[in-house]
Amino acid sequence: MKLNFLFPLACSLICLFGFSQCTGNTPAATTSAETAAADGGQSSVQDNDSQKDLVKVAVGSKDHTTLVTAVKAAELVDVLSNAGPFTVFAPTNAAFDQLPAGTVEGLLKPDKKDALADILQYHVAVAVYKPEMFTDGQIISMANGGSVTMGVKDGKITVNGANVVATVQASNGIIHVIDNVLLPK
Amino acid sequence: MKRTYLFLIITAAVAIPALLLSPGCKPSNPVSAVEGDAASKVYVAPGKFDEFYNIVSGGFNGQVSVYGLPSGRLFRIIPVFSVNPESGYGFSEETKPMLNTSHGYVPWDDSHHIGLSTTNGEHDGRWAFVNGNNTPRIARIGLGTFRTEEIIEIPNSSGNHSSPFLTENSEYAVAGTRFSYPLDNQESNPDVAINTYKQNFKGTVSFIGINPETGRMNLSFQILLPGVNFDLARCGRGPSHDWFFFSCYNTEQANTLLEVNASQKDKDFVMAVNWKKCEEYAKAGKGKVSKVRYAHNVYDEKTHSATSTIETETIVLDPKELKDIVYFMPCPKSPHGCDVDPTGEYICGSGKLAAVIPVFSFSKIQKAIADKSFEAEFDGIPVLKYDAVLHGEVKKPGLGPLHTEFDGKGFAYTSFFVSSEIVKWNIEKLEVVDRVPTYYSIGHLCIPGGPTRKPHGKYVIAYNKITKDRYLPTGPELTQSAQLYDISGDKMKLLLDFPTTGEPHYAEAIPASLIQPKSVKFFKIEENNHPYVAKGEKEAKVFREGNKVHVLMTSIRSHFTPDNIEGVKLGDEVYFHVTNLEQDWDVPHGFAVKGANNAEILIMPGETCTLKWVPDRVGVYPIYCTDFCSALHQEMQGYVRVSPRGSNVPLSFSTGNKAEPTGTSK
């Protein structure tokens, strides 16, 4: 697997089994008594101690700003902060750039929210698929109701033809970074 | 209200037993007792936090429960002296040693009083201590994990009631025996006739040292005392820092029908102990080493396991020889509560059967001791003259005074069981300034910080003993009822009823800000030193040692590794050592296996817990996660195959490492 990937994601991967980032006993940033827990969904839980969830990992990646913007526009931030377990195929900014000009901007418009959500949910499976669990020709059901076909050839993994270029573990699932956006068939 | 009260006095005076039995005697109409804005004062909106933690003893459930104030919402029940199948406490291999005693495994106790740790007499939010009343023990709970970290048994004690109250810097927790008895010093003969109480029965109070860094307890010294019942206790504060005060009843030394026989004398005692002097004498070797047996159980947060050690010695100080460590002060009629005000000058005794509340003055006590103002000796211990140590009496405050808390503004709040009320009085002037009914028959009461130098005030909570018609009925057994009153003004105002679990005795309340920031979210997997930890799925394995099969299993959303195990044979003992690999707040995994004769285990993130299982028949047994951990929680399961004795099925284990194609093409 080509590890031309990002520093924050690599950090998160290392952090999974240890090193100093995950601190159990140090006081977390907390609100004072009588003040509110956030009124938002699970994504707004104040927790700087736990291993990062999918959304926090993606937010920490400079290469996934488009994906993060889209996830926010489709109001899927809380969903992907849920307990999971998820497998997310995460297209890079470059992958989005390969779409026809104006496609992303169009999908980000409020009236296209459902279409955007459908596309993003096509990148999410409920279950953790580790790289070694994929087989050539394997069909995986996605959250939008569709399915993708995995390819495994010469140690390289593809999903609907897009290359998996890196894999990152998050607290509530796993991220496979891909170089093309998956479009529901 | 006043008329009602007079009526009650008359009723009680004529027929206290009848009052206790009659549900009809209500102090006032409960509906009119609540004002219109009460709801808004206790309403904590969804997502908002309570202002105080209320740490409440569980009484006969042997646990400690944690509520929020002012909402009265229950947050947690912490298993302490009793097993808890919910978490596996007392059932898992790691926690069984916590319940070991010199009598063996004792999976229940009766938890009575909370003592929160203090520094300079003020709450520091580090530990909560609680006593086990039946098989005498003190437990320490860490307020970072809200878990029981240590339990120490108290030798030479029977019924550890006046406990675990702490000195001002948490130097010591105390333990006074409720039942005097022939002590368990192994060099004496405890096989004596019960009616030889006066000759052979003795009491002790124990001082359990607390390590200022770790909180670890050790039995520092005990004081040998005449056979009476020790009931409650409080440390001195400020000027009285070096002293501790204990209430004593049954100075009649009755061994039967105490209901009548322990109420003969006009006065029993409040006992003043100079613990600083005791400490000096103990260190100087002036105590006698006595042979005893007691268990000391410690839970290690890194190995996630408890160990139990049997200790065999205690140092006993004898006040007949060490003349300046213990003094008795006469106190009317079987005192129960013995409470010290925030200034440390006033000590309030609450005689259960007394018509007054005597308030002792610490400075007068010191003068009386200096002047040798003694009226008698009781079993070789000087009894100070009542008038010489008395600040004054609150006259006719109510019926059946039990306990007193303080608001830090010069007022005391005393609970009255018989007249079912809280009475507020001015400590200096000894005048009653307000009273409110409780529903019904209040026992302990709690003001946040009430037993410290700086009470936080704001509320008083009544822990009532009788519930009857306060909630929808649930048959003969009803939940206990607590009540919250606003004490911010001159008059107490009832705000809220809330049900409590077990039977709360004492409770403390502490500002959330002292605990909330320190709350632990998970245990670091890299610091897990459990001998059977698997720190990743690659470390999961199954191996055999004779007839013991050890399964080093991991759990992470949403599978166990391994989840298929074969080669277990009838006659094997299987130990499932399950490590939760999650490093995420509030993601425990559970583990249960069909037919296990114990409980589930609930494993916190980063922790390892062990469930022992002895299969009783051949077959394939399911295992599964019991805590709804994720969307595929219901898929978090597996199988263990148990073959006959002598079977040649090899020991093997696996978790599917190739996903089968699933789903259909759209």
Query: Mean pLDDT for chain A?
Result: 84
**Distance in angstroms between the alpha carbons of the first and the last residue of chain A:** 27
Residue B91 Cα, gap to closest chain A Cα (Å): 26
Q: Which residues of chain B neighbour A35 with C-beta distances below 8 Å?
A: 48-49
Beta bridge partners of A126: A86
Per-residue pLDDT, averaged over B108-124, amounts to 98
Q: Please tell me the predicted confidence (pLDDT) of residue A41.
A: 87
Q: Is B535 on the interface with A (CB under 8 A)?
A: yes
Q: Is A127 on the interface with B (CB under 8 A)?
A: yes
Per-residue pLDDT, averaged over A167-181, amounts to 97
The answer on pLDDT for B663 being more than 60 is no
Helix then strand then coil, % of chain B, to nearest 5: 10, 45, 45
Query: Mean pLDDT for chain B?
Result: 93
For residue B618 the two structure tokens come to: 């051949």
Q: What is the DSSP letter of B644?
A: P
For residue B177 the two structure tokens come to: 């025996």
- The reply to whether B541 falls in a domain is yes
Q: Are B401 and B416 in contact (CB under 8 A)?
A: yes
**What is the spatial order of strands in the sheet that B172-177 belongs to?**
B111-119, B122-132, B137-142, B147-153, B288-300, B305-317, B217-226, B202-210, B172-177, B160-162
Q: Please tell me the predicted confidence (pLDDT) of residue B66.
A: 98
Compute the distance between CA of residue B603 and CA of residue B93 in angstroms, rounded to an integer. Answer: 13
Q: Are B585 and A173 a contacting pair at CB < 8 A?
A: no
- Chain B window 403-462: which residues touch A at a Cβ cutoff of 8 Å? none
Q: Are B520 and A24 a contacting pair at CB < 8 A?
A: yes
Return the residue in B521, B539, B555 with the most chain A beta carbons within 10 A, the one to mutate for interface testing.
B521
pLDDT band of residue B32 (cuts 50, 70, 90) is: low
Q: Please tell me the predicted confidence (pLDDT) of residue B184.
A: 85
For residue B628 the two structure tokens come to: 């709804």
Q: Are B629 and A83 a contacting pair at CB < 8 A?
A: yes
CA distances from B379 to A32, B223, B226 (A): 54, 14, 6
Q: Are B509 and B567 in contact (CB under 8 A)?
A: no
Q: pLDDT for A135-156, tens place per residue?
A: 999 999 999 999 999 999 999 9
CB atoms within 10 A of CB B568: 24
Strands of B258-340 (E only): list them: 267-274, 288-300, 305-317, 326-332, 335-340
- The reply to whether B339 falls in a domain is no
Per-residue pLDDT, averaged over A37-61, amounts to 89
Q: Are B658 and A133 a contacting pair at CB < 8 A?
A: yes
Domain ranges of chain A: 7-16+51-130+164-178
Return the residue in B515, B655, B666 with the most chain A beta carbons within 10 A, the one to mutate for interface testing.
B666
Residue A147 Cα, gap to closest chain B Cα (Å): 5
For chain A, give the secondary structure using H, E and C: CCCCCCHHHHHHHHHCCCCCCCCCCCCCCCCCCCCECCCCCHHHCCCCCCCCCHHHHHHCCHHHHHHHHHHHHCCCHHHHCCCCCEEEEEECHHHHHCCCCCHHHHHCCHHHHHHHHHHHHCCEEECCCCHHHCCCCCEEECCCCCEEEEEEECCEEEECCEEEEEEEEECCEEEEEECCCCCCC
The residues near B342 (Cβ < 8 Å, ≥ 6 apart) are B237, B406, B408, B452, B453, B454, B455
Beta bridge partners of B637: B624
CB-nearest to B516 from A30, A83, A146 is: A30
Q: pLDDT for B534-571, tens place per residue?
A: 999 999 999 999 999 999 999 999 999 999 999 999 99
Residue A132 Cα, gap to closest chain B Cα (Å): 7
Residue B536 Cα, gap to closest chain A Cα (Å): 8
Q: Is B527 on the interface with A (CB under 8 A)?
A: yes
CATH architecture of the region A7-16+51-130+164-178: Roll (2.30)
Compute the distance between CA of residue B634 and CA of residue B628 in angstroms, rounded to an integer. Answer: 8
- Chain A window 146-185: which residues touch B at a Cβ cutoff of 8 Å? 146-147, 149, 171-173, 184-185
**Phi then psi for B615, rounded to 5 degrees?**
-60, 140
Pairing state between β B305-317 and B326-332: unpaired
- Chain B window 135-154: which residues touch A at a Cβ cutoff of 8 Å? 144
Q: Which residues of B271-287 are buried (b: 16+ CB within 10 A; e: fewer)?
A: bbbbbbbbbebbeeebb
Q: Are A18 and B524 in contact (CB under 8 A)?
A: yes
With H, G, I as helix, E, B as strand and everything else as coil, classify residue B233: strand
Of B4-8, B76-80, B191-195, minimum mean pLDDT range: B4-8
Residue B606 Cα, gap to closest chain A Cα (Å): 10
Q: Cis omega before residue B401 (within 30°)?
A: no
Q: Is B536 on the interface with A (CB under 8 A)?
A: yes
Q: Which residues of chain A neighbour B665 with C-beta distances below 8 Å?
A: 139, 147, 149
The answer on pLDDT for B631 being more than 90 is yes
Q: What is the DSSP letter of B484?
A: E
Compute the distance between CA of residue B196 and CA of residue B179 in angstroms, rounded to an integer. Answer: 14
Length of chain B measured in residues = 666
Q: How many CB pairs under 8 A join A and B?
A: 131
Per-residue pLDDT, averaged over B600-618, amounts to 98
**C-alpha closest to that of B403 among B505, B271, B495:** B505
Compute the distance between CA of residue B65 and CA of residue B77 in angstroms, rounded to an integer. Answer: 4
Chain-centre distance for alpha carbon B543: 41
Per-residue pLDDT, averaged over B144-169, amounts to 97
User: Which residue type is seen at A28?
Assistant: A
Q: Are B661 and A139 a contacting pair at CB < 8 A?
A: yes
Q: Are A28 and B48 a contacting pair at CB < 8 A?
A: no
The residues near A154 (Cβ < 8 Å, ≥ 6 apart) are none
The answer on pLDDT for A9 being more than 60 is no
Q: Is B43 on the interface with A (CB under 8 A)?
A: no
- Percentage of residues in chain B with pLDDT exceeding 70? 93
Domain extent at residue B553? 525-654
- The reply to whether B67 falls in a domain is no
Compute the distance between CA of residue A2 and CA of residue B385 in angstroms, rounded to an integer. Answer: 89
The model's pTM is 0.90
- The reply to whether B610 falls in a domain is yes
How many structural domains comprise chain B? 1
CB-nearest to A47 from B47, B526, B585 is: B585
- Chain A window 55-114: which residues touch B at a Cβ cutoff of 8 Å? 82-85
The answer on pLDDT for B31 being more than 90 is no
> In chain A, whose CA is at the least distance from the CA of B528?
A18
Q: Are B522 and A35 a contacting pair at CB < 8 A?
A: no
Q: Is B302 on the interface with A (CB under 8 A)?
A: no
Rg (CA), chain A: 17
pLDDT band of residue B34 (cuts 50, 70, 90) is: confident
Q: Please tell me the predicted confidence (pLDDT) of residue B190.
A: 86
- The reply to whether B504 falls in a domain is no
- Interface predicted TM-score (ipTM): 0.83
For residue B465 the two structure tokens come to: 């003993």
Q: pLDDT for B66-77, tens place per residue?
A: 999 999 999 999
Q: Please tell me the predicted confidence (pLDDT) of residue B29.
A: 55
Q: Is B582 on the interface with A (CB under 8 A)?
A: yes
Q: Are A36 and B658 a contacting pair at CB < 8 A?
A: no
- The reply to whether B649 falls in a domain is yes
Q: pLDDT for B317-338, tens place per residue?
A: 999 999 999 999 999 999 999 9
CB atoms within 10 A of CB B153: 27
Q: Is B518 on the interface with A (CB under 8 A)?
A: yes
pLDDT band of residue B132 (cuts 50, 70, 90) is: very high
Q: pLDDT for B174-207, tens place per residue?
A: 999 999 999 987 777 789 999 999 999 999 999 9
Q: pLDDT for B490-521, tens place per residue?
A: 999 999 999 999 999 999 999 999 999 999 99
Residue B631 Cα, gap to closest chain A Cα (Å): 6
Q: Is B538 on the interface with A (CB under 8 A)?
A: no
Q: Which residues of chain A neighbour B47 with C-beta distances below 8 Å?
A: 36-39
Chain-centre distance for alpha carbon B341: 22
User: Which residue type is seen at B595?
Assistant: G
- The reply to whether B293 falls in a domain is no
Compute the distance between CA of residue B457 and CA of residue B461 in angstroms, rounded to an integer. Answer: 11
Residue B599, domain CATH: 2.60.40.420
User: Which residue type is seen at B476?
Assistant: P
Q: Is B631 on the interface with A (CB under 8 A)?
A: yes
Residue B543 Cα, gap to closest chain A Cα (Å): 24
Q: Which DSSP string do the residues of B518-554 spell out, in sequence order?
A: G------GGG---TT--SSGGG-EEEEETTEEEEEEE
Compute the distance between CA of residue B115 and CA of residue B172 in angstroms, rounded to an integer. Answer: 11
- The reply to whether B155 falls in a domain is no
Q: pLDDT for B648-661, tens place per residue?
A: 999 999 998 543 33
Residue B242 Cα, gap to closest chain A Cα (Å): 34
> In chain A, whose CA is at the least distance from the CA of B145?
A25
pLDDT band of residue B41 (cuts 50, 70, 90) is: very high
Chain-centre distance for alpha carbon A139: 20
